[in-house]
Structure 1
Amino acid sequence: MQLDISSASLPVYEALASDVRLRIIQLLSTNKMNIKELAASLGLSSAIVTKHVNKLEQAGIIKTERVPGKSGIQKISILKVDHIDVEFPQKIYHSFETHTASIPVGHYVDYHVAPTCGLATRESFIGEVDEPKFFMDSKRMDAGILWFTKGFVEYKTPNLLKTDERLEQIDISFEISSEFPFTNNEWPSDITFSLNGTELGTWTSPGDFGDARGKFTPDWWPSNINQYGLLKTLRLTKDNGTYIDGDALSDVSINDFDGKNDIWDFRIQVKDDAKHVGGVTLFGSGFGNHDQDIKFNVYYS
């Protein structure tokens, strides 16, 4: 589950702001339970536990299923979410000027991918899934999502800096997750990023998320496959190395990469020898939780 700092996420924050509800989540992380079983474990009445369960269910953290029991139909509570990511507003650096570019996820210029893999537009799949040859289909330019188990996709973006403009920082943001044949919230994948042939570092995606439908995912898209990713910002600084969402990724700085080229190459890759070969899913405009493509923000002075 991915949250942001807005009123739309308040039901989840409110649901978590209770010792009792946190204990219910802990209990459901080990087993499915009915109200009577939860009440006994918590030492509370069934009526009170029901109110707390309803709060968690409304927030989308747990779900309830009706199953036959000894005394008729009983309601079983099941933990629905095993990961919550909170996206804070991006900090803006007012002291720098900015060049901005956006690259649709289907506008890669080179690739080498292995199944499971595929692409889709907002209307339909592109060709057949798990057939790498369709990554060269002309319809790929309209793709809003792509996925592969190992290999890479590479994008190009123009260097918009003028000769008198000094590069200070590069931010690259994208919505990304691992790739599992259906979905698996706990499916780590080591994803490596490179710029102009310089390896910036490797980030481990925690999973391929399907516990809730993506906010922008089209209605035709099946509910049992990739629904959304995590919005990540890769930041290449002038003196302090490379970061991803504020966490240090490597010591590579702007001084280590050739930023004078007219064209910059950006590669997203899962290496054959990675510890976790868990694939990549890239969500672009019209898919996932963020209606955006791959964004480059280039800060200069």
Structure 2
Amino acid sequence: MKIQVSPLNLGYFECFASETRLRMIELLDRKPMNIKELAAELSVSSAIVTKHVQKLEEAGIVGTESLTGLRGRQKLCRLLPDAVTLQFRTPDPQVGRQSSISIPVGQYSEFQVKPTCGLASESAIIGYFDDPRYFSDPDHVKAKHIWFAGGYVEYRIPNYLVGNQSVRSITLSLELCSEAPGFNENWPSDITFSFNGVEIGTWTCPGDFGSKPGAFTPKWWKFGTQHGLLKTISVRADGTYLDGVRLSGMTVDGLGIKYGEDIRFRIASHENAEHPGGVSLFGKHFGNYDQEIEIDLHY
């Protein structure tokens, strides 16, 4: 998640101007808690906790759901983002155009995967577990969660260049993690990203997360992995960055982006990697972030 430092986002920054709200974030980092439990830990009233939760919820920091408890309905709260990046500089005014594209995780154009693997829509499993043939099923475009122990999936990003325009930067965000049988939160995986066949860098995901329910994962899903981590990748004129930290020296000019040709984006887990731990991807209605693969191209 990237937040522009601006008065327009003052409500977001105000969330961190309260010791009570900071303590709530610390508590929810340990486990989801309901209003009454938070009130008891903080030694304040449930009414005060409710007001703080509302502010955190409006900012997208905390997610809530209403559940049936022993004494009626209760509001369960959970922490949503794993990290945020503060953007201090405003976008370059010389970048004349921005194209924002949302690509569903199931709308890949090419794949090569090996078990454990599978696909799920927001309402059902697509095909059968551990059968790569179902990655070719026409319903794969409906997938909101896909996973594979090795191999890759590749997406085609529309290229709207005209005339003598050139791409100045590509920023992409997605939710993903490793892929272990069932789940294993200590299961590192070297996940490699590439554009147009050019590798831009490898990120080692620490695990496959299933001990806490995903904020948006459907209740019917009882098969291990629940959510991933939200990662932001930026390829710019000065290199490639992951969550604002330099990942490699690959620049946008080195990606071979040409007029009239789609941009190919690949996510891979190589068998010869130091940590060949697979990939799990999450789209809308799955995981902790209600989004698909979100892409911004600056021309």
Q: Give TM-score, length-normalised by structure 2.
A: 0.72
**Are 1:13 and 2:27 counterparts?**
no
Provide closer, same or farther for how the CA distance between residues 99 and 152 of structure 1 changes in structure 2, counting only shifts above 3 A: same
Indicate conservation of the 8 Å contact 2:82/2:230, yes or no: no
Q: Which residue of 2 aligns with 1:298?
A: 297
Pairs aligned (count): 242
Percent identical among aligned pairs is 40
Provide closer, same or farther for how the CA distance between residues 54 and 183 of structure 1 changes in structure 2, counting only shifts above 3 A: farther
Instruction: Give the distance between the partners of 1:219 and 1:280, measured in 2 at CA.
Output: 22
Indicate conservation of the 8 Å contact 1:87/1:231, yes or no: no
Q: Which residue of 2 aligns with 1:113?
A: 113
Instruction: Give the distance between the partners of 2:295 and 2:26, measured in 1 at CA.
Output: 37
**Are 1:245 and 2:243 counterparts?**
yes
Instruction: Give the distance between the partners of 1:93 and 1:108, measured in 2 at CA.
Output: 29
TM-align CA RMSD:
3.2
Provide closer, same or farther for how the CA distance between residues 250 and 164 of structure 1 changes in structure 2, counting only shifts above 3 A: same
Instruction: Give the distance between the partners of 2:180 and 2:154, measured in 1 at CA.
Output: 21
Provide closer, same or farther for how the CA distance between residues 285 and 242 of structure 1 changes in structure 2, counting only shifts above 3 A: same
**Are 1:199 and 2:199 counterparts?**
yes
Query: C-alpha displacement at 1:229, in angstroms?
Result: 0.8
Provide closer, same or farther for how the CA distance between residues 124 and 163 of structure 1 changes in structure 2, counting only shifts above 3 A: same
**Are 1:189 and 2:198 counterparts?**
no
**Are 1:153 and 2:153 counterparts?**
yes
**Are 1:87 and 2:84 counterparts?**
yes
> What are the equivalent positions in structure 2 for 1:92-171 lying under 5 Å apart?
93=91, 95=93, 96=95, 97-171=97-171
Q: Which residue of 2 aligns with 1:260?
A: 258
Query: C-alpha displacement at 1:87, in angstroms?
Result: 2.6
Instruction: Give the distance between the partners of 1:13 and 1:270, measured in 2 at CA.
Output: 37
Provide closer, same or farther for how the CA distance between residues 215 and 252 of structure 1 changes in structure 2, counting only shifts above 3 A: same
Query: C-alpha displacement at 1:85, in angstroms?
Result: 2.5
Q: Which residue of 1 aligns with 2:229?
A: 230
Q: Give TM-score, length-normalised by structure 1.
A: 0.72
Provide closer, same or farther for how the CA distance between residues 94 and 215 of structure 1 changes in structure 2, counting only shifts above 3 A: farther
Q: Can you list the C-alpha shifts for 1:66-110, whole angstroms capped at 9, x where unaligned?
A: xxxxxxxxxxxxxxxxxx822346676262331111111111111
Question: The residue matched to 1:115 in structure 2 has which SS?
Answer: strand
Unaligned runs of 5+ in 1: 19-24, 26-50, 61-83
Instruction: Give the distance between the partners of 2:20 and 2:212, measured in 1 at CA.
Output: 15
Question: The residue matched to 2:152 in structure 1 has which SS?
Answer: strand
Provide closer, same or farther for how the CA distance between residues 180 and 12 of structure 1 changes in structure 2, counting only shifts above 3 A: farther
Instruction: Give the distance between the partners of 2:98 and 2:87, measured in 1 at CA.
Output: 14
Provide closer, same or farther for how the CA distance between residues 208 and 162 of structure 1 changes in structure 2, counting only shifts above 3 A: same
Question: The residue matched to 1:234 in structure 2 has which SS?
Answer: strand
Instruction: Give the distance between the partners of 2:20 and 2:208, measured in 1 at CA.
Output: 24
Unaligned runs of 5+ in 2: 4-11, 31-39, 54-61, 63-80
Q: Quick one: which amino acid aligns to residue 150 of structure 1?
A: G
Q: Can you list the C-alpha shifts for 1:100-133, whole angstroms capped at 9, x where unaligned?
A: 1111111111111111110000110011111111
Instruction: Give the distance between the partners of 2:92 and 2:254, measured in 1 at CA.
Output: 25
